[in-house]
Amino acid sequence: MVEKTSFRLVFGDGPVVKIIDFLIDNQEFDYSLTDIAKGAEIAWSTLHECWPQLVALKIVKKTRRIGRAELYKLDTQNPLAQKLLDFDQYISLQFIE
C-alpha cells in the first residue's frame, strides 16, 4: 500500500483530490488521460467524469498530441493552480514540523 501524501491526508481520497495531487507531484511532465488515471489510482471512467471540471477551471492545460493521445499537465500559470501548489507546499511543511 502506498503512503498517502500530506495533500491527501488533509483533503481526502476523492477522485478530484487524487488527480490534483498526482498532477502537483508530477508537474514537470505531461501525461495522457490514461496515464493520469493510472497515476491518480482512479478508474478511467471516473477521470472522464471529473476531467471537464478541471479543464473548465483551467487547472490543467493540453500540452501536445502524440498520435491520438492528447497530453496534459498542471497549468502552473493559472492562479488557482498556483494557490494549490502553494497550499501543497504549506501542508507539507506543517507535516514536517
- What lies within 8 Å, CB to CB, of 74 at 6+ separation is 20, 23, 24, 27, 59, 60, 61, 81, 85
Is the whole-model pTM more than 0.85? yes
- What lies within 8 Å, CB to CB, of 39 at 6+ separation is 22, 26, 31
For residue range 52-85, what is the model confidence (pLDDT) as tens digits? 999 999 999 999 999 999 999 999 999 999 999 9
Q: Which three cell numbers stand for residue 72?
A: 496534459
User: What integer pLDDT is reported at residue 95 of this predicted model?
Assistant: 86
For residue range 25-43, what is the model confidence (pLDDT) as tens digits? 999 999 999 999 999 999 9
Reported confidence tier of residue 2, pLDDT bands at 50, 70, 90:
low
